[in-house]
Each structure stands twice: as structure tokens, then as C-alpha cells.
Structure 1
Amino acid sequence: MAEVVNVLVAFAVIVILFRWVTSSKDSSSEHSAASTLGFRPRNVTEQMVDTVQGMFPDIPRDNIKYDLLRTGNVDQTANKILERGFLDAPPQAYYTLYSRTEQPPAARPAHSPAGSSTATKAKSDNLIKRFHLEDKVQDAPPISEEEVAGKATWEETPEKREASLQERKAKMILAARQ
């Protein structure tokens, strides 16, 4: 009977030592990330985030990165978006560990979500600037729908056709702005 007790105590000591040794291998930052987020974060590369962002440009990068930290798999994250149509927003604890990822202007999606008036205003300002219509915006008379949608006459020279096309583009942009 005494030998059984000695074997159980020795086994318990070995298990405790094994757990202590294996838990000390985890870095303190990884342990704190796991305790803060409530799960052990997987390794996520920017390429993984870019892959999902390329497939679903309307999903915020932080949401994608948070889901990839949970799953560690691009396919699972993509399937979740396809099934649900969205990804959950990361909790506040996520932002204490990972800074907000701001996309550079070139990487932002071309279309903005509905209800974003500042994005729409910036986009229309860009069109106005791109076609050099700043002076026409201020003193533009109301443009009728027939004027914009009407057929253009065929000009004889390519230069006149190009000028006519530019004029029609300008009218459409100004009409859309109204």
C-alpha cells in the first residue's frame, strides 16, 4: 500500500513539473495576449490579411485580422464571410494589443459603404479635380436630364469628337453632383 502512495506522489510531482516546464516556454506576451483576448492567438501574416481583403474589400482589416487570429486559416475566415456576410468586430481588448490598421489611400476599396457622406464627398471632389471642373461647379446652371442623356452628334475630326466627349463627361459629373 505504501508503494502505491509513493508511486502516485511521484506521478503527481512529475505531472506538475512537466506542466511548469512547458508553460514557462510560452512567452509572457503570448500568455498575456491569450488572457486578454480569451483565446490563444494564431500566427497571422499580412499576406493572409491581404488575401482575405482582396476577396472581400468591404470588410474592415481589423475584423479580418481578429478572425484570422482566432482561426489561423484564410479558408475558414472566407467561409464565415460567405455564410454570414460579415465578420464580428474585435473587442476593445484587441486594440490594446494590436494598433488599429489604417489602410493607405491606394489600398482602400474603390467603393464606399452607403451612408458615408465624407467618402462620397471626397470621391466627387476627386472627380471635379480630375476633370478640372472647379470653376464650373460654383456657377453651373441646373442641367436637365435630357441634356445629359441626349445623343451626341458625330463630329468630323477626332479632336472635335474628343472635345465633345469631354464636354459630355463634364455635364454628367456636374449633373450627378446636383
Structure 2
Amino acid sequence: MKSPIAWSIVLLALWLGGCASVSTDPREGGLAGGIKGLSTGAYDARIREREDRLAVLRQVQGELETERDDLEYTKAQRKQKVAAERARVRRMNRDIAALNRRVDSLSASANRNDQRVRTLRTRVPQIQSQSARLQSDLDALEGSGLGDSEADLRRAQLEQQRASLQAEYDLLNQMSLDLAR
């Protein structure tokens, strides 16, 4: 028979041999896993790995916040452009209404057969209709999303239409002034 010291050595050897297969994860390894994790440096490695992942996540979060801010700025700029175009259309509508009143006045006092008066009479309502459609199209652009190249293209087309209508209005306005003389 062996002495109690020999049995202690055998048990210690078996216990230490069992520690080799023990996980270093503190949730799984228990006391033996904790001792093994501390002695092998596995805990420190896990901490460094998690700190590195946290740093990467914080960097990504910062980049996403910057991108969000850029998108918000772009959205605000586009909203201002649409608002400016709306204001121009409203001014043009007021000018067209004034021109229409002037044409009515000229029509009453001028020769009704004058071709220029007839041209003004037919063209002014057409311009008013086009201006109303332009206003409606601008209203439709109000809710467009960010980065939408189709919306940008449509806004550019509407700006072109507004400029064309403005030029035609200016010509008709000059014609009405010439008739008033």
C-alpha cells in the first residue's frame, strides 16, 4: 500500500492533467479555468481583443455619424433650393396675374382685332397653366429622398421650365407695354 503522500501526488498529477483540457473562458472553466486563464495570459488576450473590437466599432460609429451629418446638410440645401424655386414661381404667378389684368385693360381700350392683343389673351392663360403645373411639380419634389439623382434631374428640368416661362413672360410683358403706348 502506498502512503498518503503518494496518493496526494497521484491526485495532484491527475488534477493538473485535467486542467490542460479546461476552458480559459471564465464562464465555462470554473476555478481551474480561471487559474489556467490567468497563468497562460488568455484573459489578457481576450480583453485586448474586445478592446480592439470596441475601438473599431467606435470608429465605424463616428464615420456613420459624419455621413449622417453630411446627408442632413445636403437635405437642407436641397430643401432651400426647392423653397427658392417656389418663391420664384409665386412671384412669377403674381406678375402673370398683373399682366393678365393689364391685358384685360388694354383689350377694353384697344382695338379688339389687334393680333397682338389676341396673342396676349391666348398665351397668358397658357403660361398661368404651365406655371401651376410647375408649382405642382415642385410640390412633388418636396418629399424626395437624399442622393436621388432623378429628383435632382427633375428639379433642374423644373428650373429650366421656370426660366423659359419667365423669358416668355418678359416678352409678353414688353408686348403689353408696347400696346399701352
Higher-helix-fraction structure: 2
> Larger RCO: Structure 1 or Structure 2 (Cα < 8 Å, ≥ 6 residues apart)?
2
Q: TM-score, normalised by structure 2?
A: 0.28
